[in-house]
Amino acid sequence: MTTNTKKRDNLTITYIGGGSRGWAWNLMSDLALEPALSGRVKLYDIETEAALANEKIGNMVSARPDTVGKWKYETSPSLETALEGADFVVISILPGSFEEMASDVHAPEEYGIYQSVGDTAGPGGLLRALRTIPMFETIARAICETCPAAWVINYTNPMALCVRTLYEVFPGIKAFGCCHEVFGTQKLLAMVAREELGAQDATRKDIEVNVLGINHFTWLDRASYRGTDLFPAYAAFADRHFSEGYEGAEGGSWLNSWFASAERVKFDLFRRFGLIAAAGDRHLAEFMPPWYLKDPATVASWKFSLTPVSWRIENARKLREKSARLASGAEPFILASSGEEGVGQIKALLGLGSILTNVNLPNHGQIEGLPAKAVVETNAVFSGDSVRPVLAGFLPSSIHGHVARHVANHETILAAALTHDARAAFPAFLNDPLMTATPAEAEKLYAKMIAATSRHFADWKV
């Protein structure tokens, strides 16, 4: 692949959700560490104060002598203003409040439906999608009018439906969706290479994989370490660690982290289906029938957690405080590579060297058997002003059935949200694999969840 190294200046990156206290800080760090790029970052957030704090933090970082990538951060008063002149648009928003997310995640528990995340699939993912799609409709229209040639990187969940909406509303958009879940599985595979093949220095970058599926329900049908097929090694590894789980890859015990797991779901899926599921166990569990999420005891037996939204609320409070400290200089901003590939992708799109990585894009045949337009996750080649998926092949029928079900639900949800018709999404609500309630119970639950987030459905048919 090409390895150009020329520098690019005067770039404009627009960050929608620019008050973010996670992804935004990652991006600041990665930009600060990248010598080849410079320009300005325009921050837009419905919470203006958060954007202003990040403006301050970003400019402080830029002013530091150890910062090689110099950027000017500025807060924009409106979406349209923010998009003016954009070369790149990053979308990383929280669609709705954490209080609303509490309804998404916990309301179904009344009917025995447990969700570990609740932002992609499950009843919670559906409700979140319904309120997110109109937001992405607005964003897509604004991009179409203001900066149609900009590259758009989405980090928001539900990933597939966010990207799907962008293309539905503005078919000419140059958008893709990024998610680091596959990277986590590559890390696990590097552990496998070390443990099974004795490759002590293996890192995730050494692990070549073929990726196919939908975001958070992604699969690998090939994985190799320097040309050596990792499937036999992974089989041995999964067998050995199945009962107790394996906690090495995520840097901590699942008992101490709402986000970690012991990979037992992943091992179980491998033993059942023969392919490597490539997302965190908390995400994977939500795409299947309630094998792993039947009740809290079952979840515990699989060694992962039901992340409570109360924790997210508390964590958000802490991050707000940290933001204040960073903005005031009371706490130093630590520069460190985030492990994300956003900046590498931007460089490749600017013609500064091609890269191959996994990404979410509308299906044009990169996955056989899934419908055109569905947003799928596969590897793609990033090069100058171009992202081209590789042909990833097809899923075995035993997995395809599960994936196709979610894809069909996505299409149902999208059509409902675009027409503001909540009734039209109910068949997808009922057809979610976690939905064990009867149709009558599901009706009640759905009404309750709509009501709990009713400000998003003011003009909807409910």
Active site residues: 180
Least Å from the CB of residue 156 to a second copy: 22
Whichever of 17 and 290 has its CB closer to a second copy, that residue is: 290
C-beta neighbour count of 122 within 10 angstroms: 28
Q: Are 434 and 117 in contact (CB under 8 A)?
A: no
Instruction: State the distance between the two ends of the chain, measured CA to CA, in whole angstroms.
Output: 52
Q: Which two tokens stand for residue 388?
A: 């081209």
Q: Is the peptide bond before 108 cis (omega within 30 degrees of 0)?
A: no
Are the C-beta atoms of 250 and 339 separated by less than 8 Å? Answer: no
Minimum gap (Å) between residue 331 Cβ and a second copy: 37
Nearer to a second copy, 240 or 388 (CB): 388
Number of residues written out for the chain: 462
If phi over 0 gives left and psi between -120 and 50 gives alpha, with beta otherwise, what is residue 158? beta
Cross-strand bridge partners of residue 361: 376
The tokens of 209 are what?
């994989």
Task: Give the Cβ contact number of residue 440 at 10 Å.
Answer: 8
* Residue 110 per-residue DSSP state: G
Q: Which of 439, 438, 459, 451 is nearest to 127 (CA)?
A: 451
Q: State the Cα–Cα distance between residues 79 and 262, nearest whole angstrom.
A: 41
Residue (6 or 66) nearer to a second copy, CB: 6
Residue 288 tokens read as 């299947």
Shortest distance in whole angstroms from residue 61 CB to a second copy: 26
Residues 37/46, Cβ–Cβ less than 8 Å: no
Closest contact distance (angstroms) between CB of 205 and a second copy is 6
Give whichever of 1 and 330 is closer to a second copy, judged by the CB atom: 1
From the CB of 243, what's the least distance to a second copy, in Å?
A: 14
Q: Report the distance separating Cα 428 and Cα 127, nearest Å.
A: 11
**Which CB sits closer to a second copy, 364 or 455?**
364
- Sole residue written with tokens 């999964």: 238
Write down the least CB distance from residue 76 to a second copy, Å.
Answer: 26
Q: What's the distance, CA 173 to chain centroid?
A: 19
Write out the residues near a second copy by the rule CB under 8 A.
1-2, 4, 6, 8, 205-206, 208, 210, 222, 224-229, 272-273, 289, 291, 294, 349-352, 354-356, 364-366, 368-369, 371, 379-381, 383-386, 388-392, 396-398, 400-402, 404-405, 407-409, 411-412, 415, 426-428, 430-431, 435-436, 438-439
CB-wise, 139 or 346, nearer to a second copy? 346
Q: Which is nearer to a second copy, 315 or 386 (CB)?
A: 386
How are beta strands 8-16 and 37-44 bridged, if at all? parallel
C-beta closer to a second copy: residue 149 or 255: 149
Separation between Cα atoms, residue 423 and residue 427, nearest integer Å: 8
> Which residue blocks in 147-177 are alpha helix, DSSP H?
159-169
User: What is the four-CA torsion angle of 351, 386, 95, 338, rounded to 10 degrees?
Assistant: -40
Task: Tell which residue, 29, 134, 48, 151, has the closest CA to residue 90.
Answer: 151
Question: Structure tokens of 186?
Answer: 């590559």
Query: CB of residue 238 vs a second copy: minimum separation in angstroms?
Result: 16
Instruction: Output the smallest distance, CB 140 to a second copy, in A.
Output: 21
Task: For a second copy, give the closer residue by CB, 157 or 379.
Answer: 379
Extract the tokens encoding 221: 């049908």
Bridge partners, residue 220, by sequence: 211, 276
Shortest approach of a second copy to residue 167 CB, angstroms?
A: 15
